[in-house]
Structures are given as structure tokens and as C-alpha cells.
Structure 1
């Protein structure tokens, strides 16, 4: 009795039989026109996926139970940052990411009395400094610190339009830093592509091309893991598949360079669909986006506070965003199952299709000079802008819905007096080597109109 398989009394239904039954129920309507829809990536999504149409071509392991709850901390005042770190760790954070803009920050004072061996500390550096990295390296060695450095000169070029100094000096420094470091240094900031409106195929292909520049220019990159920052959007199953496809693509490319480490993925909810009005809905959006990140196999997740658009860093917003992850991990048991998407034909099929299309686009980028060349020529920026405009048109026409913003808005909402931060695209006139990739939210124009109408 114990070995008896369940549901043996039910006969197997083939894919063809399912389609025939559906066609009857449609009462003459066309199956393809009625039930198959096409994503912005050009992927046609079917109403069901069946075993007899599925071929297992790829394999990706997603150790969901190992993801870390990552707390972002901006370091300006060292003592305040240290106290916030201690409080965050006491309240459920499992890893810390320090963002540092000034190389004069006293590392010893910042890390004094923190649990160094049991906690991973990320250092998101906005500068390239060999002395600062040497200081970090020496400190980690003496105190047995578990550090991950996040340096990305190409990401600097993408976001700011300029290198830190110039291409030769930046790569000379990064080569020196990488060859002397005892911990991971290279970081790929891909979240800007999603936040600027690139579709998933573009995000994956640009990540791969971005990475390939480092493989070609930094010989010592093979000695350490590589960190990839990813922004997770609202298309739930597609985003799960995106992270899975990213690992497949990374491993495929890394194998060509004899790089034997798996990538370290840090996921954060996208800013693209976040809203100023009816801001509590942002909590729903970030929750499903964090779920996608977990199920897709992110190593660490830094949630986005619901009020991050218009409030400065504050304890309440941080606590709520951290608690969302704690609920998913500790109360929803997302830490109990590995590879939850394995065998889900829909997700497996999406993973294969995204990986294949992204690989083709990557090959096209390489055949036309590579990522940096296409940035300088403006090709990457133009393609992202075209994708962003398509999505913006869908939002403006009401076909893409943000609840509380372009669907069922609360006309009584007032936000003008709540703004501690400027929540729209900022213009900064300066001379740049390339046109930077600009992050922009879908709701910005609508929100500016509403703010102007407030009494």
C-alpha cells in the first residue's frame, strides 16, 4: 500500500487532447488569437505547457534555502552607520552592504565590534582606489573578515557617461586590485538596464556582454567569484526564469575562459514600476518581486523600502522592507526547498527561450565590436530607449496597469508635502564621453501632473 502510486486510476491526457477540448470550449474562436499572448521580449506564451511537448535541454541549480537578507547602509557618518549595522543585524538582516563614496572613510572605526567572521559584508564603492582596497584587504586578513567588494568601472561608464579617470587607467587599477585582493572584487551592475526600461532579453545579453569585457581585459578574474546585481521586475514567472537563465548564460561564458566559480547574484526590486501615489502598493510589488528573486536563485536580496522614492533612509521603511523578507524566509518557508522551479514546464521553457534569445543578441553585440564599443556608438542606449518607449506607451494607454496610479487612483492622495527626495529623473549638465543610460519610472509624467494640480 505504501508503494502504490497516487492517481493511477486517471488516464493520461495528451497535449493534443487538451487542445481539442479547449478548442471546443472556445466555440469557434481562434486558439492562437484568443489564448496565446506575446511578451515584450517576443516570446509567445501558451495557455498550458505539457510534458509531451517539453524537452529538458538545460539544468540550473537554485539553492533557495541559502539566500541572505541583505541590508543596504550608506556610509557618511561612520558611527551612525555602525550603529545602524548593529541594529539591522539584531532585527533580522543576515548580510550588510555598505555604500561608500569617500575613500577617506575610516574602515577600522566602521567595522570595530561588528561580527566579522559570521556575516558577509559587501562594499559598494563609488571610486577606484588601490590604497583603500589594500587597507580593506589587510583588515580582512588580520580580522578574518568575510568581504565582497563591488567595483564596476563599466557600470560607472553606463550610469555616469564617464570612466572614473579613463579606460586605460581604470583597467590598470582594476587589474592591480584584482590580482592583489584576497576576496571578490569584480561586480556587474545590471540593475540599471531594467530600471531604464530594457526588456529581459536585453538585460541578459547586456549583462553577458558587460561581463565579457572583464573576462577579456582582466587576466586575474579567474581567481575569484564575480558578483552580479540584478533588478527584478513585476512579471513574476518571467523574472524567475530570468535569474535561472542568467546562471546558465554566466556558466556558459565562464567555461570559455576556464572560470570555475559560480556567480554571486544580488537581487533588488526594480524602481521602474514603483509609484509616488498610493505608495503602500509598492509593498505588494516588492513582495512578489522578492519572491521571484528567491525562486530564481538569488544569493542575496536587498529589498526596496516602500517609501524609497520620496523619503530619506528611515528606520520604519527599512524595518518593513526587511520584515517582508523575514516573512518570506521564516514564515512562508521559502528557505525549506531547493530548486522549486525544476519540472515546472512553463518556467523551464521560458528559461530556455530567454537564454537562447539573449545568447543570440550577445553574439550580435560581439560581432559588432563588443559592449564598450556599442556604448560609445550609442547603440545600447538607443535599443534600451526603444524598449522603454514601447513599455511607456502601454502604460500611457492603460494596457500596462499600475494599481492606484493609472488604474483606480485615489484622487484625494496628496504628496507634495511628503517629498524629502526628488522622485523624478534628475538632469545634470556635464560633458560626458557617452550618453549615459537614464533610469526612469513609468509613472513619472502622470505623477508630475498630479503634483502640479495639488492645492
Structure 2
């Protein structure tokens, strides 16, 4: 059998070069005369992306940028393991052992109560000198690190520590934590593969911040740490060497990829401002995690698809380590099935898609290089504005207000259908059978109400709860707190279906500053509203909580016998949301597309 003839080499020079004008003419022809500008894509709070990019885009950047200093090795697959409050972590440590035996290269313990975590048991079950382990704590970072060092004497730990107090990320918190953080830096100085300080930009990302805000406020967090922690015993170089970044990655593929690349461009600029050499920036480590902000309760298997594109953006953007969230974390207890899927997602990207085989694969792309540059410029400008306002923690109220405004705008876009969430506000599974009990989920204190889709979800869950109660014909009634954001969701979703004359009436029935409720009895469901103060007094009355008890968090779901709840609603003055000519159930049916 004869050998096949070798294929002639192919070079791009063999193809005729096309000018930008030629591309524009082709676009105009394909668009049948429409202006290609109609294809522009404005990012929320960020740049406007053009329909196409050509070689002139790199000329505008001063020529092709140099490839970014990506990790020397492929990213580490580091599953996150939440450890509930008050538990010793034995269950999660055993899960870590299983994960490490089945493809994980590290683990990330998210500790609700660091003081209860059994560091000795961890050291017995895992070789800490050879295992990459991350720890996120809300209190006592110095105490935890000291116990870990005592549990493995003489061992150089690997991994990271992220201190995430309730008030905000490191650097955005009051200075009382400075001593604890300095202790962590000093203790970890002899551990070259451990980062004891985190720039927790994920704190902002999971609250609804844009990519530019996440970068800008992360830089402000880092600046606060670099400005406040160094002292006679803790040099600036030691603080810098202890820093690493935590970033939340959303499903918008190219912007999220460019966000991580922009971070690596901005980091040397910040360190230069503190007189540090470029070599100090070259050791930057970035830990990425799939965003909790974008997870959904409805049609939850779509979370697997979101996690896939989020993980791809993270690793192509240059993350050093990656935590992929489980698709059912919003309603299910940790389990091996969803944990294995999350762990294997990262393995498929590396072992089968070979994403770790190329350094900075987006380098030279007209589009991605331009987007990287625009995100970096926008983030740096916002960072400078924040620093001019006093920096963190002084500017913290302004920062949180800006993030809240961004999140509110997202809620409104989702409610109006302008931002698609597959399975929640578009392409819904109308025959969905929930894998959880809506009543228990709404009552659970652990149910995450801060996510982008919560206003849409809680209305669906509350309605499902009503129809279930109606079918059972129980004499119980329930009041489900839908929240302030659902006012806008109802208004935006139902607005276009009303005659113009009735729209002012709908707006009047949703006063600003009020909370929405669904009152559900066996016979009917009624949308209502009240002030937050009314709801607190109502909940205290219903559950007999004395006024003297200052700390009381009213649950999302209140239930009682029908007569008591009806009388309480009358006494406390909750108002029905009335729309002329439509019953509440008709409104609910329209909102759910039924």
C-alpha cells in the first residue's frame, strides 16, 4: 500500500487580506441595508461591544499586547465544601478525602464557625504539607491558622486563607482586624505555597456587581490592606506576598474571561503605585469560583450549564484554582452525586477539552484584547473614584449602594424579560416537579434570597404552595414574604398586558418602600403589600415574640389557622394589590405565562 502524499503547508498569506471596509460592506449586505450598529452589545455598567473587530483594533491598543503571565501549570480543581455552623467538620473532611481520591487537587472549606473546626482531625486525615487546602472563615482567622500550625508542626501548609467577616471583605472592614491579619501574614511567611490574605472580590460579584465593579472594589480592598497592614514587624513585601484574589465568575462567557485577564493587567499597576517591582505582581494567584449570584432554584439542572461556561471563562482567563458549585446547593444537603458532577466538570475541561494545554489562549484576539483593555480602563477609573471618596472602609456605604443599584437593575431586567434566565423567566419547565418542599425551602434560614432570580422564584414557589394548599383544602393559611424586589417584578411582568388606563392603578398599588406578600388560604390567593414595620409587628404578634426582644428576624413564610391570620391581616392593615377587572389568580397565571 502506497504512503499518502504529504499535505502542502497552509499559510494565512495564501488568503487575500480583507480590509475593514470590505467586512463592513459584507455586514451591511447580510443585514439587508441595516446599520451594523444595531448589533452593538452594551454590557451592564460597562463598555459597548461592537459587531465585529478587525486588525485596527490591535493598532488602537498600540500593537498586539504581550501574552499575560498565566499560571505555569494548569489550574487546580478545588471543590468547595461548606461546613455548617457549630459542627466539627468531620463529615466534610471525609468528603474531602473522597474528592482528592477522585480527581480533585485540593479542597476549600467554607467555615461558618471556625472555632468548632477540628484541625487535628484534618491533619490526621490529610497530608497538609502536600495537599492544597483553602479556608474561608467569618471570624478568628488568626486562631484557626494557629491551630492548623499546631496540628501539623513543622509542616509548610499549602493553599489559602480568606477572612470574610459579615461586614464585608478584608480591607473593607474596620481596622480592629488588622492585628489578626498581621499575625496570619507573619505565621505564613515560611509557607511559600500558602496565601494568608485574600482580596475578596467575589463578595461584590455575588451581591450583583458588574465585572468592572468587582475589579474596582477588589483593587480598593487590596489598597486598604497594603496601606494599613504594613508596620515595623510586617513589611510591605510580606503583605504583598501573602495576597491572592477571590473572583466570582458569571455565565457571560467573553466578558468574564476578559475580566480575569484585565485583573492580571491591573495588578502590576496597583503594586507600582506602592513602589513594588514588576516581579511582585508576577506571583499573583487567582482563585475563581462559579457565582452563587447566578444560580437558580427553578429548573436547577440549568445550573450545570451555567457552571460549565463559568468554569471555561475562569480557566481560559487564567485562574490558578477553581471551585465549581454544585447544581442543587440552594435546596439540597451536600451529596456525592452533585459533588461528583461539579468535580468532574473541571476534569473534563482539562483532560478531554485540553483547556490547560495552552498559555493565554485568548492572546491576540481582536475582540478579547479590546474587551480586556476596556474593562481594565473602566475598572481603574472606578477604583480611582472610590479612592478619591476615601477608599475602603470609609467609602464602604457608597460602594454597597452602587452594588445594590446594579443588582436592582438586574432584578428589573429579569422581571421585564430583557435579561433571559433560562428555565426561570424564559423557556420555563411548566410541568416541573420540585425536588424540594417549597414550604420548607421558604422557611429555611439558609435559603439564599440575594440571588438575581430570587424575586422571580419566590413568586413561583409561593404560588405552587397556594395551589398545593388549595388541593388539600386544609384550614391553615399562609403569608409568604415576597420582598420589595417583587413589587417591581410584578409591575414589569404584568405592565404590558394591561390597558394603558389601568397602568397608573397598578403602579399606585405598589408603593415604594413596601414589601409584597402572597396571602394563601384554601379558597384564594391574594397579593398584598405592607411596610417593613407592619410586617415585623405582624410576625411578632403571630409568634408571640415580645417587643423587648430586640433581635428578631421574621421568617419568609408565616402560617397559622385561617381565622387568626385573617383577623391579624385586618388589624395590622395589610393592603390588597388591586387591578381592576383581574383576580389575583389571573395576575399570577399571567406572571407565570399560564
TM-score (norm 2): 0.68
Residue 537 of structure 2 is matched in structure 1 by: none
Aligned CA-pair RMSD: 2.8
| Distance change >3 Å, CA 291–CA 125, structure 1 → 2 | same
Match 1:43 to one of 40, 47, 50: 47
Shift of 1:4: 5.5
1:318-357 alignment to 2 at 5 Å? 318-357=339-378
Residue 564 of structure 2 is matched in structure 1 by: none
Residue 389 of structure 2 is matched in structure 1 by: 368
Match 2:237 to one of 222, 226, 229: 222
- Distance in 2 of aligned mates of 1:8 and 1:366: 49
**Counterpart check, 1:188 vs 2:199:** yes
| Distance change >3 Å, CA 423–CA 52, structure 1 → 2 | farther
Structure ID, larger Rg: 2
Shift of 1:420: 9.9
- Distance in 1 of aligned mates of 2:99 and 2:256: 28
Output one character per residue of 1:3-56: Cα deviation in whole Å (capped at 9) or x when no partner: 965243321111122113322443332232x22221113312112111133134
**Counterpart check, 1:70 vs 2:78:** yes
Output one character per residue of 1:335-357: Cα deviation in whole Å (capped at 9) or x when no partner: 21111011111111000000001
Match 1:256 to one of 273, 278, 285: 273
CA contact (8 A) 1:82 1:111 kept: no
Match 2:124 to one of 112, 120, 123: 112
Of structures 1 and 2, the one with the larger relative CO (CA 8 A, separation 6+) is 1
Output one character per residue of 1:135-187: Cα deviation in whole Å (capped at 9) or x when no partner: 3235455134324222255xx42279x95xxx343112222332333342111
Shift of 1:253: 0.7
Q: Which shows bigger deviation, 65-74 or 130-139?
A: 130-139
| Distance change >3 Å, CA 283–CA 365, structure 1 → 2 | same
Residue 452 of structure 1 is matched in structure 2 by: 462
1:25-424 alignment to 2 at 5 Å? 25-32=30-37, 34-55=38-59, 56=61, 58-59=65-66, 60-63=68-71, 65-75=73-83, 76-100=87-111, 101-128=113-140, 130-140=142-152, 142-152=154-164, 156-158=166-168, 167-182=174-189, 183=191, 184-219=195-230, 220=234, 221-223=236-238, 224-257=241-274, 258=276, 260-261=280-281, 262-375=283-396, 378-415=397-434, 417-418=436-437, 422=441
CA contact (8 A) 1:267 1:298 kept: yes
SS at match of 1:47: coil
- Consecutive unaligned residues of structure 2, counting only runs of 5 or more, are 1-5, 469-594
CA contact (8 A) 2:438 2:462 kept: no
TM-score (norm 1): 0.88
CA contact (8 A) 1:309 1:421 kept: no
| Distance change >3 Å, CA 330–CA 23, structure 1 → 2 | same
| Distance change >3 Å, CA 450–CA 143, structure 1 → 2 | same
CA contact (8 A) 1:149 1:187 kept: yes
CA contact (8 A) 1:425 1:440 kept: no
SS at match of 1:103: helix
- Distance in 2 of aligned mates of 1:420 and 1:190: 34
Q: Which shows bigger deviation, 325-334 or 118-127?
A: 118-127
- Consecutive unaligned residues of structure 1, counting only runs of 5 or more, are 429-437
CA contact (8 A) 2:123 2:151 kept: no
SS at match of 2:369: helix
